Amino acid sequence: MANLVNLSSKSDVVGAIASILCFLHCLAAPFLFVVQAGLVAGEGSHPWWWGTLDMGFLAISLLAVYWSAKKTTKGWVKVGFWGLWGVLALIILNEKMGIVHLMEQVIYLPTLGLVFLHFYNRQYCHCKDENCCAEG
């Protein structure tokens, strides 16, 4: 339980790192698919583990958003965290289910938005104890 509390106090760092890795994952995908196409002619899919990274990043970012939104003192930051995470989740789920065709680049907007908010929230909320950033 102590590790969970420690991670919750560093949720902006974890969230920013997860968002950056998610962004890099999304940015690298087209290049990796081109390389794979050269290696495996006729196959139109990506490795199974590549698709699971999306859900892993989404789960990690959910925890980071939960703890960061819980601790922030600015209402608009809390709304921003949940709004951007919701948009990111919808884009990823849409991509998995193929409901609506979207440009691949749309995923960059909520991802970079989460990176920005985590950095902003970390800069804004310098706590000397656990109570200064509590909901208020």
In a domain, 132, yes or no: no
Q: How many residues does the chain have?
A: 136
Q: What is the pLDDT of residues 106-134, one digit of tens each?
A: 888 998 898 888 888 888 765 555 555 54
What domain range includes position 61? 2-124
Rounded distance between C-alpha atoms, residue 89 and residue 61, angstroms: 10
Rounded distance between C-alpha atoms, residue 124 and residue 81, angstroms: 14
> Position 127: which residue type?
C
Residue ranges of E strands in the chain:
none
In a domain, 26, yes or no: yes
Whether the CB-CB separation of 57 and 115 falls below 8 Å is answered with no
Q: What is the pLDDT of residues 43-99, one digit of tens each?
A: 455 666 667 778 888 888 898 889 888 888 888 989 999 999 999 999 989 988 888
In a domain, 120, yes or no: yes
| Residue 9 pLDDT | 57
Band the pLDDT of 1: cuts 50, 70, 90.
very low
* Pairwise pLDDT comparison (12 vs 5), residue with the higher score: 12
In a domain, 129, yes or no: no
In a domain, 131, yes or no: no
Q: What is the pLDDT of residues 8-32, one digit of tens each?
A: 556 677 777 777 776 776 666 666 6
In a domain, 130, yes or no: no
In a domain, 80, yes or no: yes
In order of 38, 48, 118, the CA distances from 76 in angstroms are 46, 37, 13
| Residue 74 pLDDT | 84
In a domain, 135, yes or no: no
How many distinct structural domains can be found in the chain?
1
The residue assigned the tokens 């002619």 is 41
Give Cα 113 to chain centroid, integer Å. Answer: 9
pTM of the model: 0.66
Band the pLDDT of 136: cuts 50, 70, 90.
very low
